[in-house]
Structure 1
Amino acid sequence: MESRIALCSLIILSAAAVTAVPYSPTYHFGFDAASLVKRQTQDPIIVTKLPLTNGTVPIRPEIRQMKQNPYKWNLFLLSMSMLQYTNQNDELSWYQIAGRGYCTHMSILFPPWHRVYLALYEVSRGQESQYVYILSPRQQVLFRLVQMIATWFTDPNERAFYHAAAADFRIPYWDWAAEPPAGEDVFLPDFESEGIQIYGPNGWQYIANPLYSYKFNPLDPKVFSQGDFPNWTETKRAPFEKTDNRSVAHSIEHARPALQQRLYTLLSNYKDYGPFSNKYWGTATNQSQFDSVEALHDAMHVLVGNRGHMYYIQYSAFDPVFFLHHTMADRIVAMWQALYPTSWVTPQVAMEHSFTMPPGEVQDVFTELKPFYANASGAFWNSEMANDTLRFGYSYAETIPGQGGSKSEDRARLIAAINRLYGSSSPSTLVQKRKRALARRDRGKFSQLRQGTLSDDVSPDFSREPHIAANLVTDENTYTEWIANVHVQNGALNGSFTIHLFIGAVPRDISSWSAAPNLIGSMNVFAMKNMGSANHVSGTVPLTSALMRVVSAGGVAGLDPGQVEPYLKTFLQVRVIGENGAEVRPSSVEGLCIQIASSEELFRSFSLFCFCGLGVNWSTQGRDILHLTYTIPTHTRHTEANMKLVRFLMKCANETVTIELKNGTIVHGTITSVSPQMNTALRTVKMTPKGQDAVSLDTMNIRGSTIRYFILPDSLPLDTLLIDDAPKPKNKARKEAERGTGGRGGRGGPRGRGRGRGRGRGRG
């Protein structure tokens, strides 16, 4: 009878949050559980497939969905707590799992490497079946702990329920892009409570919440040496004085619509794996796409961490939310793969090093994803082997094949799910509503903005859904889309930083910027401190929904370029926050370039800001072109300036390009004699001078250019080049693409995607 009462209580109060009662560090099972967790063998650790359940592939659930099953939820929290409390010197402890590793950033391998890192597996050795562990992945460790804990319930009825929950256990993901249930925040309250009440094999206990933080035992100041980290004995989020999860929740709530739009765009418009996969901005892939799944992933690192552990690449994996976040990233990749099954890892040069991959090495689908062994013979996993989640024994609700075996039906079901989950914030969805009533609020504020009477008290509020004016939509049910394409040097501020875009007056309080009503959006740069990376990364800030609000409230007449360009040049404000939380002048951020692009005109875009340490450059197209000849000496090939030039010219070899020099001169010509290796000097660059053999821009192919600017060797009098490329509009570019001349629809602006490389850190 007592066990039934406990079982009933479990269903009602599973893992209830408490803060008033002192909690113990972890759950006490009534015996020495730690000795059962310790790995007893030093054999190679192999990543293999988890067993199916009754012949079916279990799915990784969303964390809110897992909470609805109290048995799974308790097993998840108990296993997390046990793992975190394991001795830090143990190979299988949370501390060792979250430590230094081999992960790849700014790399074509970013998605598959992290997939194997997250993988579930089970391995057989002869007649004995046992669970074993890879050097870094946390998920398979949890699976084994879940199986063990389920057997420790002594009541037969309880044990049966927990066995059933454990049989198809898969780690959950946290969907930070979908609209949360009514009355709830995106940031779960389960992340905010320091202590929780939880039921286990030894009854109810109050323990430290394993989703709130990880507690170092002990803290090694030599490992956590920068800033206040040597003083923090647990992971922090927004650590202004102590962890401030509420400020994190507010920032994420405000950012969610833009994050959702970016995700929707990635899934709907990014059809090539290269630009989708990683944030590196440089050599060629698809030139109309600045965003990537890695850049989107970076935004959540910065938002959740906010100068806490998730904010720093080298410390991020210690935060319990890291795991839930990366599983969401893997789900995004899985959905994208289901939409575009013929596109996967393509060769790309590693621009920076990881523990096992030097810069300059070509990474491809067969590059070893170290340190993950695929079999006992010592072979490592590669991207070809890791291209299907089913090979690891899991799937997601949106990607699991249907019983009918129809790929078209599976794809249609996936598209419907994406539209349902992530379409609500997209401009296309707002257009479909065709709301004709003007917004009742903020009309006076927008009127003041339009008249130029801007003050600190006057700023629009973009937190509400816009009322779509009828004149925003054409008779063909199309509209002009606007986007800010941003690229910047990854190491510009020696660590992570954020670029904010506002309309109107910027609040005086810097700490309020991430949730300010008139914040249009942000680009978050997730960078390693003291690495000095000169490589460029890119991302996007959707502008259309915000501009629809401006139009509907009377701030500007419409979305046409002639109306929007002068408005944005007058009222769009750029602010940058550095790693220490202080404001940084945008002009001092190395390589910061913000291009505002629209989908209305095929050859129309303008650079709002292009900071190269030399001031602001407004980029416009010219019609006269010139011819230049320049030879780069081989003895200068190792300079950073030449490396940047090589990267650009490798893309543009044998192509007609247009370049704007710093003095406004427009140069046109064909790049020739470019060496194929990144570390080898190119020989000649040929172009024709202005006034000689002038050719109209109308006859030039300018869609092939990829780089907004690059630095020339010191021997040249001009050190900054700007390349103005055409945006790829949603409406017109689609027709061009069908003729083989245009880009992918829906996103404006050039996109130069390069080959990334791994960061020397186990997470991120």
Structure 2
Amino acid sequence: MVSVRQSRGVLPTILTLIVLLQGVLATHGHQHVHRSNIKEIEERENILQKRATIAITGIKGSVYPRQEIRTLAKNADQWNLYLLGMQSFQAVAQSDPLSYYQIAGIHGRPYVAWDGVPGVNQGGYCPHVSTLFWPWHRPYLALFEQVWYSHVQSVVNSFPASQRSRWANAAATLRMPYWDWAMAPPSGQSSVPTLIRDQTVTVTTPSGQQTIKNPLYSYTFNPVSNDLGGFPYNTWTTTLRRPVDGSASSTRSNNNMFASIMDQNRVSLRDRVYNLFVTSAQFVQVSTEASGSGTGNPSSHDSFEGTHDNIHVISGGESGGHMYYLDYSAFDPVFWLHHTNVDRQMAMWQVLQPSTYVGTGQLTQSNFQWNAGQVKNAYTPLKPFHKDTAGNFFTSMDIKSTSVLGYVYPETQSGASASSVRAAVNSLYGPGSSSSKRDVHIAVPYEGRPLRVGDHEYLLNVNCLKHGLGGPFTIYAFLGNVSSDYTTWPTAPNLVGSNGVLGAYSPMNTSNVQIEGCIPLTTALQGKVASGELAGLDTYSVSAYLKKNLSWRVVKAGGVVVPPDQVPGLHMNVASCPIIPAESFDEFPTWVGYPQVMANVTAGMPAGTPYIPTGGSPSSPYTPGGTGTPYSPYTPNHGSPYNPSNPADEPGYCEVDTTIEYVDMNGNFLYAEKN
């Protein structure tokens, strides 16, 4: 049964008049209708559709995979088109709703309506820290890809006729790439490819080879205005990463530092991503970092939103680069490469966990179109993204499969199964992956080793208030002595990892949103055993070692160091869990029960008490070497979330049963899936 609640605009009437006009012309003598007249009608129709409702379709036609950026770059023609398409896209006047500027502006500033979808608050449309964080970004990426691809097609048509078939063939299977920041980079290379860091790039144009500004290095505002907020963002003419002097109107990016910090954090990020795939959890637990009563996420768990935050904070930097704040982040070209990777991670996770999806949850903070406290679910309209010209919005159910938007990923192509995805995850991120098999006995950071019988997983859990410090901040974890110079912390040899908190710099983010994160300790502890600093990985030895050597530091915007016990709502605790190694490469290791809190490790440390959620209870201290079934750190509240409003009351709410038919590259039917 289909239940639809929607608002409709005037566009159907306009389009009907156009169709009738075409019909009249055809009826009264087809031979007298000039091609120029038909073209004029089509152009007017396109203009009317753009003004009334922009329909997001993704790239129409067959479904092809989005490739990792370093893989795409190996295909010279496709890489060339990707760059030229980005160059053309970024050059569109900022007044155009389909400009790079305005599409990026949907996410945060300049806080204006897009595609006629009105706002009720100051802030961007993005619903971060909620059950809709991940699904909202999928049609957003599809919109970006659709518009970018239209520029690619224009580039193809600009080549001489004798060359056009070559470029058309390259464009036929082209999709925008992703940047896999967790995978091991090629030998001798940084986690941040030079493809993103080079200021210029040589491309083949219709006029021959030219060197142009790299459209992946930065985006140039033309003009830059007060719509982007106060100083320095209303004076910086280009997007910046880790600006050398964030307080200056004229400065430069420090991409080398960006790369160095990513290299130091990659293993930690790899382990976080791997653990998210391995542990059994509900969709809401892995998709959003929001936790607590009403959010739909009752239990403490790491999330893809949490790892996502780290990339924002690392690339933007405490000096205030654009990625450091949600309000500005989408203007940086790396945003799109990063978010496409997060979309990929969730698509892979969906293959592994097909029985769980977007549930009911309460918005933790207000944004452009919604207020904090409103309840949303899988049928909530993902505003401002229209799926047709009649004014209907996408819902999470509409985009459960990426194929409906014209793309898949290398790991989720036709024929993908839970077994094949597990094998891919193990190969890319697992302790038995190629990155871990290299001879890196004394490498910094230590890459890890395959799991063994008797191993434990050790985690440093983080709970805090998202906006407790009035903006983004980073928690750094160390084993050993820590320098007093905070600028050395992100690349310190004894850094275990970091947890970036992406508090946005906007009027909307004043609510006390409880979030969770994690810094894995296992790989670093393996390294200490390999170097002889730690006797073994049994819980007794690890407990004593961490009690003596583990510490953490906090830095917020502007490079201000904050004592951990002065960070509102911050709770740090170490937990461990026995692990049973996988028996085959297409299986995951098994976590035996829930991680147990080792309360004795952090007792007495600043912010070193375990987090106890509302309605929860503290756990008993973990006894090293103890036996028995591991228990949860607290008792989750599995009750229904507080419902201040009915999700179905929202204009545009659309509850629809859909059936998706999958076909191969030749259009032959494979199978159908009902959502």
TM-score normalized with structure 2 length: 0.75
Query: Which residues of 2 match residues 148-547 of structure 1 at below 5 A?
Result: 148-156=154-162, 158-226=163-231, 228-241=232-245, 242-283=252-293, 289-306=300-317, 307-402=320-415, 410-424=417-431, 462-465=444-447, 473=452, 477-530=453-506, 531-547=509-525
Query: Is the CA contact 2:573–2:610 (under 8 Å) kept in the aligned structure 1?
Result: no
Q: Give the 3-state SS of the residue equivalent to 1:570 in structure 2.
A: helix
The match for 1:110 among 110, 129, 133 is 133
Q: Using the alignment, how far apart are the partners of 1:63 and 1:319 within structure 2? A: 16
In structure 2, give the amino acid aligned to 1:235.
T
Query: Is the CA contact 2:463–2:570 (under 8 Å) kept in the aligned structure 1?
Result: yes
Match of 1:128 in 2: none
Q: Give the 3-state SS of the residue equivalent to 2:166 in structure 1.
A: helix
Q: Using the alignment, how far apart are the partners of 1:610 and 1:553 within structure 2? A: 27
Q: Using the alignment, how far apart are the partners of 1:534 and 1:48 within structure 2? A: 37
Query: Which residues of 2 match residues 126-137 of structure 1 at below 5 A?
Result: 137=143
The match for 2:599 among 598, 603, 606 is 606
Q: Give the 3-state SS of the residue equivalent to 1:231 in structure 2.
A: coil
> What is the CA distance between 1:194 and its match in structure 2?
1.7
Superimposed CA distance per residue, residues 62-112 of structure 1 (whole angstroms, 9 cap, x where no aligned partner): 111111111111111111111111112222221111114411100111111
> What is the CA distance between 1:416 and its match in structure 2?
1.2
Does the C-alpha gap of structure 1 residues 392 and 541 become closer, same or farther in structure 2, counting only changes over 3 Å? same
Query: Which residues of 2 match residues 732-747 of structure 1 at below 5 A?
Result: none
Does the C-alpha gap of structure 1 residues 39 and 573 become closer, same or farther in structure 2, counting only changes over 3 Å? farther
Is residue 566 of structure 2 the alignment partner of residue 588 of structure 1?
A: yes
Q: Give the 3-state SS of the residue equivalent to 1:372 in structure 2.
A: coil
Q: Give the 3-state SS of the residue equivalent to 2:383 in structure 1.
A: strand
Does the C-alpha gap of structure 1 residues 138 and 165 become closer, same or farther in structure 2, counting only changes over 3 Å? same
> What is the CA distance between 1:287 and its match in structure 2?
6.3
In structure 2, give the amino acid aligned to 1:412.
S
In structure 2, give the amino acid aligned to 1:724.
S
> What is the CA distance between 1:606 and its match in structure 2?
1.2
Superimposed CA distance per residue, residues 651-687 of structure 1 (whole angstroms, 9 cap, x where no aligned partner): x3xxxx64xxxxxxxxxxxxxxxxxxxxxxxxxxxxx
Q: Give the 3-state SS of the residue equivalent to 2:77 in structure 1.
A: helix
Q: Using the alignment, how far apart are the partners of 2:223 and 2:276 within structure 1? A: 42
Q: Using the alignment, how far apart are the partners of 1:318 and 1:67 within structure 2? A: 22
Superimposed CA distance per residue, residues 240-270 of structure 1 (whole angstroms, 9 cap, x where no aligned partner): 2421100000111111111111111111114
Q: Give the 3-state SS of the residue equivalent to 1:139 in structure 2.
A: helix
Match of 1:686 in 2: none
Q: How many residues align?
A: 554
The match for 2:541 among 552, 563, 586 is 563
Q: Using the alignment, how far apart are the partners of 1:270 and 1:363 within structure 2? A: 24
Q: Select between 318-327 and 344-353 the one with higher mean Cα deviation.
A: 344-353
Q: Using the alignment, how far apart are the partners of 1:316 and 1:38 within structure 2? A: 34
Q: Give the 3-state SS of the residue equivalent to 1:318 in structure 2.
A: coil
Query: Is the CA contact 2:274–2:430 (under 8 Å) kept in the aligned structure 1?
Result: yes
Query: Is the CA contact 1:261–1:425 (under 8 Å) kept in the aligned structure 2?
Result: no
Q: Using the alignment, how far apart are the partners of 1:296 and 1:726 within structure 2? A: 28
Does the C-alpha gap of structure 1 residues 107 and 509 become closer, same or farther in structure 2, counting only changes over 3 Å? same
Query: Which residues of 2 match residues 85-96 of structure 1 at below 5 A?
Result: 85-96=91-102
Q: Give the 3-state SS of the residue equivalent to 2:243 in structure 1.
A: coil
Q: In terms of Rg, which structure is larger?
A: 1
Q: Using the alignment, how far apart are the partners of 2:595 and 2:101 within structure 1? A: 52
Match of 2:53 in 1: 44
> What is the CA distance between 1:561 and its match in structure 2?
3.1
> What is the CA distance between 1:278 and its match in structure 2?
0.3
Does the C-alpha gap of structure 1 residues 548 and 91 become closer, same or farther in structure 2, counting only changes over 3 Å? same
> What is the CA distance between 1:555 and its match in structure 2?
2.7
Q: Using the alignment, how far apart are the partners of 1:234 and 1:189 within structure 2? A: 19
> What is the CA distance between 1:354 and its match in structure 2?
2.0
> What is the CA distance between 1:398 and its match in structure 2?
0.5
Q: Using the alignment, how far apart are the partners of 2:133 and 2:212 within structure 1? A: 35
The match for 1:572 among 550, 571, 590 is 550
Query: Matched residues, percent identical?
Result: 36
Superimposed CA distance per residue, residues 463-513 of structure 1 (whole angstroms, 9 cap, x where no aligned partner): 234579xxx95xxx1312210010111112111110001111112332221
> What is the CA distance between 1:617 and its match in structure 2?
6.3
- Structure 2: 5+ residue stretches without partners: 1-42, 110-123, 246-251, 579-593, 645-675
Match of 1:29 in 2: none
Does the C-alpha gap of structure 1 residues 45 and 725 become closer, same or farther in structure 2, counting only changes over 3 Å? farther
Does the C-alpha gap of structure 1 residues 611 and 330 become closer, same or farther in structure 2, counting only changes over 3 Å? farther
Q: Give the 3-state SS of the residue equivalent to 2:146 in structure 1.
A: helix
In structure 2, give the amino acid aligned to 1:75.
L
> What is the CA distance between 1:373 and its match in structure 2?
1.3
Q: Using the alignment, how far apart are the partners of 1:198 and 1:394 within structure 2? A: 26
> What is the CA distance between 1:517 and its match in structure 2?
0.6
Query: Is the CA contact 2:178–2:338 (under 8 Å) kept in the aligned structure 1?
Result: yes
Q: Give the 3-state SS of the residue equivalent to 1:260 in structure 2.
A: helix
> What is the CA distance between 1:554 and its match in structure 2?
3.2
The match for 1:724 among 590, 595, 619 is 619
> What is the CA distance between 1:528 and its match in structure 2?
1.0
Q: Select between 504-513 and 286-295 the one with higher mean Cα deviation.
A: 286-295
Does the C-alpha gap of structure 1 residues 603 and 183 become closer, same or farther in structure 2, counting only changes over 3 Å? closer
Does the C-alpha gap of structure 1 residues 37 and 490 become closer, same or farther in structure 2, counting only changes over 3 Å? farther
In structure 2, give the amino acid aligned to 1:149.
V
